[in-house]
Structure 1
Amino acid sequence: MARLGGAASLDVAFLAGGAPALATARARGLTFELPPVRAPEPAERPVPPGMDPDRPPILRR
């Protein structure tokens, strides 16, 4: 926290739910709820040639 000309300034704070400073920060500061973190969707992996049983490899002599 920095004091500039008698006024306190704090840009961002990430506190644990039970942190003692959380009650003070909530009483004096601006808060907003963050959306829940979503897990990224797994990317489709390419199928190696010859591994799809519906499309077997073409064998040549």
Structure 2
Amino acid sequence: MFATPSTYDEDFKLELKELRIALHEKLFCELYTAWTKLLSEYVSEIKEYVTPCKLKSLSNIV
């Protein structure tokens, strides 16, 4: 039994769809990882600036 050109075409389309899904998943994972790393760095920088300000303002009250 030989595959017809339409079967090849359907197999090719399915393979492309699977590759596209895999690529999107990989890109999403990489973007998510980069975004969370950037966000955690940003939050840690904010903590560095905010914490001393709070301590200074509390020491002025006491």
TM range (shorter): under 0.3
Question: Which of the two has higher C-alpha Rg?
Answer: 1
Higher relative contact order (CA 8 A, sep 6+): 1
Higher strand share: 1
More helix by share: 2
Structure-1-length-normalised TM-score: 0.26
TM (normalized to structure 2)?
0.26
